[in-house]
Amino acid sequence: MTADNLGGWPDPQPRMGFFTDTSVCIGCKACEVACKEWNAVPDDGFELLGHSYDNTGGLSANSWRHVAFIEQPVPTDVLAEAEAGPGDMRWLMMSNVCKHCTHAGCLDVCPTGSLFRTEFGTVVVQEDICNGCGYCIPACPYGVIDQRKDDGRAWKCTLCYDRVGDGLTPACAQACPTRSIQFGEVGELRERAAARVEALHGQGVGEARLYGHDPDDGVGGNGAFFLLLDEPEVYGLPPDPIVPTRDLPAMWRRAGLAGLAMAAAVVVSFLGGRP
């Protein structure tokens, strides 16, 4: 694990995270309910959005887990294997959550230290010192963080920091009946995910792919990553997420060099003008 946003602070614990296998998600929303119950997350208003069975709409300050329902025609190349006819539909389901990025822009911009990296490599908001500035919201390339309207503070998934600290499984993973949400050490989860994709490809599910697992992507890889059955955009995920603060060090270096060049020019001009 890279000790990001910690100034080289050593990692006393293995990095922990989620692997979400959407190919076995049944859309039961047990993860949403368990998350709300354990973390005392308020309800969302129980609105009927008219988008399949999705009454949450997306991640927010009051929805730290969101089960998406995507209805689409069965692809032509799998019609025979699915024993479906033209015009038949299929559901793609995915339980979305904070990605707990390796390079977390929200940490970079938080002025109060409310956001911090835990010893498990996860990213947590300390609501008691959040001043509601909202800088973290545009800094997240996934649109995860949100403010509650009643107090303005930022809220998101903590990966059940309190439970993990006590050696327990996060509430959502504990409640998942199909093990679509798997919790563990990130390195081991990545190996498990790669094996799962290979198995699906062997079963003829060629569209299976991993998302957010690559340490070389624009956020340095995620602590919460996914197995998808279609392009990321279908699930409302950015295809190439980049943390907005990624180029800050290079920008500061260029600004520093420009400042030094201007100072040197002033000195030379001053010395050159002396008799």
Is 130 annotated in some ligand binding site? yes
Find out whether 172 is annotated in a ligand binding site. yes
* 25 labeled part of a ligand binding site: yes
Would you say 148 is a known binding-site residue? Answer: no
Task: Tell whether 110 is in a known binding site.
Answer: yes
Task: Tell me whether residue 194 is annotated as binding.
Answer: no
136 labelled binding-site residue? yes
Q: Tell me the DSSP string of the chain.
A: ---TTTTT---SS--EEEEEEGGG-----HHHHHHHHHHTPPP------SBTTB-S-S-BTTBSSEEEEEEEEPPGGGTTTTT--TT-EEEEEEEE----BSS-HHHHH-SSS-EEE-TTS-EEE-GGG-----THHHH-TT---EE-TTT--EE-----HHHHHTTPPPHHHHH-TT--EEEEEHHHHHHHHHHHHHHHHHTT-TT-EEES--TTSBTS-BSEEEEESS-GGGGT--SS-B-TTTTHHHHHHHHHHHHHHHHHHHHHHHHHT--
User: Does 31 carry a binding-site annotation?
Assistant: yes
Establish whether 173 is an annotated binding residue.
no
Q: Is 176 annotated as a binding residue?
A: yes
Do the annotations mark residue 106 as ligand-binding? yes
**Binding site annotation covers 157?**
yes
Annotated binding site: 25, 28, 31, 35, 98, 101, 106, 110, 130, 133, 136, 140, 157, 160, 172, 176
Annotated binding site for [4Fe-4S] cluster: 25, 28, 31, 35, 98, 101, 106, 110, 130, 133, 136, 140, 157, 160, 172, 176
